């Protein structure tokens, strides 16, 4: 028992000794203080604009809170209401659908495109990176306006080409969510492609060549050599795409406002709708807290799975 408790304590000491070997205690202290001084400005903003609002959000979620301020303590009422709210149920299912479809699709597609372009000459590679990154820098509002024009029921490009004038793609509860996912996809692939091109370019070529000399197939080279080396990038892409998909808001606000018949309602949009249209701030905060918990759970699962791999 005693041995078990001593052993883990020695390990950090060893690390610490090696990390600061050759440095006096005074020097270490000065370095540490300097580091904290550099961190301080960011820390102030992080605490002030992220941590504190998070706690305030949790606090308000237990309150009956409207435009006139806090009207009283609501206890768990907002959370109970949430689990009985059919719009929240629909929003939750739609959010999960968006995440489940968009995240693997974005990751796989961007990896595929990156694999195809990362070995190209710098000019065409930059061209393709630029093309795929354009929707990211263009901004969701401009992209949405263009899509709105493409999908316009009477004058839209899609209906003109398909000969389906009058069909309301965004006004049909069977099709609207799929177009939201499609547009989200087009705006989400730019950053992963840039990251993957860089990651694939950094794969140790000596290992690749050695594997090829040993007779490894292309699939084996990818799966056994490249994939493990780009795993940190993949994990980052997965987490970022998941969070972006959960927080998909602008597209829905500008295109469908959660309709038709809540078919594109998401948890994120319901937070906005409840807070700013219905002025039920306590309930909106409760939805926000639940959304944060769901995102945290998804991210933790992704980290766990990626770490296991």
Partner 1 sequence: MKKKRILALALAASMSLGLAACGGGEEASTESPSGNGGESTGAVELNLWSFNIGGFTDSAAWEPIVAAFNEANPDIKITVTPINYQDGDQKLTTAISSNNAPDIIFEGPERIVGNYAREGLMVDLSDMWTSGGSDIAEGISSVSQLDGTYYMYPLSVAAHCMAINYEAFEAAGALQYIDEETRTWTTDNFVKAMEAIRDAAAAGTIDVTVPGIIYCGAQGGDQGTRALVNNLYSDYYVTDDGSSYNANSENNVKALKLLQDMVNNGSMSANASFAASDELQAFANQTAAVTFCWNYSNYTQYAEQTQFTPFAMAFPSDDGKPELEMAGPYGFGIFNNGDEAKIEAAKKFIDFVCNDKTAGVEAVKTTGFFPVHSEWGDVYADAEDADVRAPFALMSDYLGRYYALTGGWTEQRALWWPMLQEIMTTGADVQTAADSFVQQANANIG
Determine if 267 is a binding residue for partner 1 (CB under 8 A): no
What is the spatial distance between Cα 297 and Cα 277, in angstroms, rounded to a whole number? 29
Exposed/middle/buried for residue 183 (C-beta within 10 Å: 0-12, 13-18, 19+): buried
> From the list 28, 278, 300, 301, which residue makes contact with partner 1 (rule: CB under 8 A)?
278
What is the CB neighbour count within 10 angstroms for residue 120?
14
Instruction: Tell me which residues in 88-147 interact with partner 1 (CB under 8 A).
Output: none
Q: Considering beta carbons, is residue 172 or 302 the nearer one to partner 1?
A: 172
Interhelix angle 176-188/86-117, rounded to 10 degrees, is 40
Determine if 221 is a binding residue for partner 1 (CB under 8 A): no
Determine if 84 is a binding residue for partner 1 (CB under 8 A): no
What is the spatial distance between Cα 271 and Cα 242, in angstroms, rounded to a whole number? 18
> From the list 120, 203, 212, 260, which residue makes contact with partner 1 (rule: CB under 8 A)?
260
Integer angstrom CA distances of residue 122 from 162, 272, 276, 307: 38, 43, 48, 33
Determine if 15 is a binding residue for partner 1 (CB under 8 A): no
Nearest to 234 by CA among 49, 64, 104, 50: 104
- For residue 265, give the DSSP letter: -
Determine if 66 is a binding residue for partner 1 (CB under 8 A): yes
- Least Å distance, CB 159 to partner 1, is 11
Q: Considering beta carbons, is residue 24 or 206 the nearer one to partner 1?
A: 24
Determine if 62 is a binding residue for partner 1 (CB under 8 A): no
From 3-11, 15-23, 170-178, 221-229, span contacting partner 1 (CB under 8 A): 170-178
Determine if 256 is a binding residue for partner 1 (CB under 8 A): yes
Q: How far apart are the first and last CA of the chain?
A: 32
Footprint on this chain of partner 1 (rule: CB under 8 A) = 27, 30-31, 33-34, 37-38, 40-41, 44, 48, 66-69, 151, 153-155, 165-166, 168-173, 176, 255-257, 259-262, 272-273, 275-279, 281
């Amino acid at each position: 028992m005693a041995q078990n408790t001593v052993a883990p304590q020695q390990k950090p000491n060893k690390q610490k000794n090696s990390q600061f070997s050759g440095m006096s205690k005074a020097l270490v202290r000065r370095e540490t203080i300097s580091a904290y001084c550099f961190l301080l400005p960011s820390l102030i903003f992080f605490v002030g604009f992220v941590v504190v609002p998070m706690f305030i959000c949790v606090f308000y979620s237990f309150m009956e809170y409207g435009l006139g301020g806090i009207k009283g303590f609501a206890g768990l009422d907002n959370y109970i209401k949430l689990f009985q709210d059919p719009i929240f149920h629909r929003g939750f299912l739609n959010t999960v659908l968006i995440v489940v479809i968009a995240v693997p699709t974005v990751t796989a597609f961007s990896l595929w495109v990156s694999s195809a372009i990362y070995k190209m000459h710098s000019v065409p590679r930059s061209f393709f990176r630029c093309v795929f990154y354009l929707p990211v820098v263009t901004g969701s509002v401009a992209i949405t306006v263009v899509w709105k024009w493409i999908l316009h029921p009477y004058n839209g490009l899609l209906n003109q080409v398909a000969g389906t004038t009058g069909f309301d793609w965004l006004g049909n509860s069977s099709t609207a969510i799929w177009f939201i996912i499609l547009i989200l996809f087009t705006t989400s692939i730019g950053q992963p492609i840039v990251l993957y091109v860089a990651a694939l370019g950094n794969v140790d070529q000596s290992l690749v060549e050695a594997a090829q000399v040993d007779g490894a197939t292309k699939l084996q080279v990818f799966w056994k050599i490249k994939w493990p080396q780009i795993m940190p990038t993949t994990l980052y892409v997965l987490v970022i795409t998941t969070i972006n998909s959960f927080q998909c808001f602008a597209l829905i606000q500008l295109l469908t406002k959660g309709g038709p018949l809540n078919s594109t309602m998401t948890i994120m949009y319901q937070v906005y709708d409840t807070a700013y249209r219905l002025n039920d701030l306590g309930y909106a905060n409760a939805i926000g807290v639940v959304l944060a918990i769901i995102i945290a759970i998804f991210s933790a699962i992704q980290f766990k799975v990626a770490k296991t791999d």
